[in-house]
Amino acid sequence: MIATALPTDARRDRSAALARALADPKRLCVLEYLADGGERSVGDLSRCVGCQVPNMSQHLAILRTAGIVASRRDGSTILYRIADRSVLDLVGALHRVAG
Amino acid sequence: MIATALPTDARRDRSAALARALADPKRLCVLEYLADGGERSVGDLSRCVGCQVPNMSQHLAILRTAGIVASRRDGSTILYRIADRSVLDLVGALHRVAG
DNA sequence: CCATCACTTGCGCGATTGCGCAAATACTGA
DNA sequence: TCAGTATTTGCGCAATCGCGCAAGTGATGG
């Protein structure tokens, strides 16, 4: 059986929500760091991207809610990672179209 | 030579703008119609998607500014089409991650 | 020229977004 | 338990978004 048929209304809504989560330079920057950094902490990412920690936490919450990244606790720090390989394809396609 | 190196700051901005253009269910719906319809007029799309013509015109302007669709005039009507094949890969990847 | 159809643009409104800042929560080590 | 570090959450503000509505532009036929 084919995995994906015609996009339903609900499916479009999820895709739109996913695109909205990607529609920010800082969040894309985070994904690039996670793509070759593996796992990174919030403070680490906020330093690399160049924003305050609460702001980064909000961005990461958006990415996590969208299912783009996942997190795990290691002691007092929380490490974020890319949730699925397919996300890399998506970001790649995005950058490719963007030229 | 490799086509795409590390995403610069400006490149991320363009990718983010591209994602923002995709971050709406109606616009995704438009792309689906254009994907297998080839070319469609504004009134046609507004009827299919279910919104008013000015609203559809605005959505199409957003997609065109983002370089996602292109348009040509045929008499008094204007026909929109998907600008590039790579756009299909992008929306495909989007729907795939969205599950 | 004028009426008509197809589309675009300008304007105003409610809703959402990104941000800084302060406060709250969670964990560690002494 | 207490101080210190790591992260999240709440709040308010300026900016942007999606929409409906009215007016403007462009092409066609009489």
Q: Mean pLDDT across chain A, nearest whole number?
A: 94
Those of residues 34-63 in B touching chain A at CB distance below 8 A are none
Those of residues 60-99 in B touching chain A at CB distance below 8 A are 67-68, 84, 86-87, 89-99
The answer, yes or no, to whether residue A4 has pLDDT greater than 90, is no
The pLDDT of residue A45 is 98
Residues of chain B scoring pLDDT < 50? none
* Per-residue pLDDT reduced to its tens digit, A19-70: 999 999 999 999 999 998 899 999 999 999 999 999 999 999 999 999 999 9
Closest chain A residue to B35, measured at CA: A6
The pLDDT of residue A37 is 83
Sequence-separated contacts (24+) of B31-35 with Cβ below 8 Å: B31/B63, B31/B68, B31/B69, B31/B82, B31/B87, B31/B91, B32/A6, B32/A7, B32/B91, B34/B69, B34/B80, B34/B81, B34/B82, B35/B82, B35/B88, B35/B91
